[in-house]
Amino acid sequence: VEAGGTLPVWVTLLSIKSRELANQRELAGMIGIQGATLTHHLNAMETQGLLTRRRDPENRRVHQVELTEAGEALFLKLRTAALAFDKRLRTGLSDDRLAEFAEVLATLRANVE
């Protein structure tokens, strides 16, 4: 997987997959990256046959982004790897400890905002 590495590709695939039809502006906001950087990733992923972009018929300034069959297959492969990693990461941690950790992170985030 190219396009800047596996993480940007995974985050982009996940963001597209979480929407029925996503547009580039929405994706940039969901992923938290600048539009030009996203365009670079999308160009590379489109070249690799992972997604397609087309103009929204109702707003020609907006590009709709959809996964191709190859993009769907890669999403499933990466999802399997992500779930396995998440399971390994959480080994030995109870749901209570994880909830407490999430609360601490939320407090830390609130303190800096």
pLDDT at position 25: 79
What local confidence, expressed as pLDDT, does residue 76 receive?
95
Mean pLDDT for back-to-back runs of 10 residues, the chain (113 residues): 61 81 76 80 92 84 87 94 94 96 96 95
pTM to 2 decimals? 0.71
Question: What domains does the chain contain, in order, with CATH numbers?
Answer: 6-112 (1.10.10.10)
Task: Please give the pLDDT value at position 1.
Answer: 46
d(CA 46, CA 81) in angstroms, rounded, equals: 22
